[in-house]
A and B are shown apart, each in its own frame.
Chain A
């Protein structure tokens, strides 16, 4: 079946612009995660949804970052007034259950470059 998809795959934004990144998780997956991966680093947790509820947003770096999953499927990560330090790959992952033993399935990521 289809895996996790993300769009766009690449985004170039001028500093100060707003961007919206989309994630389509695997159908039926309860949990959805957003990560930020800087060059040469591991993914850093941003936020977590269980169905439509955002249960943890402790990793969002500032109030310029906002995520939603209104119907418990597709999710959007929005970054307002982008800064150069926001340049990174943004990864979305989904998992079929809440239980910690379940793996997460990653999308290909969106590479954001802020100029």
Chain B
């Protein structure tokens, strides 16, 4: 079946530190991959996406590359800010099927 695994949280970093949140997946075919973010008190919103192998999604300084050979879609940011504190969800959508979400990783950035 289809599944997403994310690194356990919470992740606590100091401002301007480098961030990596690991995400690996299992899926049939060629799914599209997404990172969603949930800020405190708000709904889920799309952060970035990639729809085929070797695509790189990027937004707000965050990046993730679709690696089919390692079935991964790790999220990175070179310098985090306090305002990046949120819960991050990795998700996949196989062709014409429903989305599958990971359990989420809580990030706390300290000033």
Residues of A whose CB lies within 8 Å of any CB of B are 33, 35, 40-45, 48, 56, 59, 91, 93, 98-101, 103-109
Contact = CB atoms under 8 A, between A and B. Distances in A.
B102 A101 contact: no
B89 interface: yes
Contacts of B93: 100
Interface in B96-111: 96-104
A104 B43 contact: no
Contact of B104 (A42, A93, A104, A108): A42
A109 B43 contact: yes
A56 B94 CA distance: 14
Contacts of A108: 42-43
Contact of A41 (B44, B91, B100, B103): B103
A59 B99 CA distance: 11
A41 B43 contact: no
Nearest to B94: A100
A29 B91 CA distance: 20
B73 interface: no
Nearest to A44: B101
A99 to B, nearest CB: 8
Contacts of B96: 98-100
Given A103-B46, A109-B43, A33 B99 contact: yes
A42 to B, nearest CB: 4
A35 B100 CA distance: 10
Contact of A107 (B31, B32, B43): B43
B62 to A, nearest CB: 15
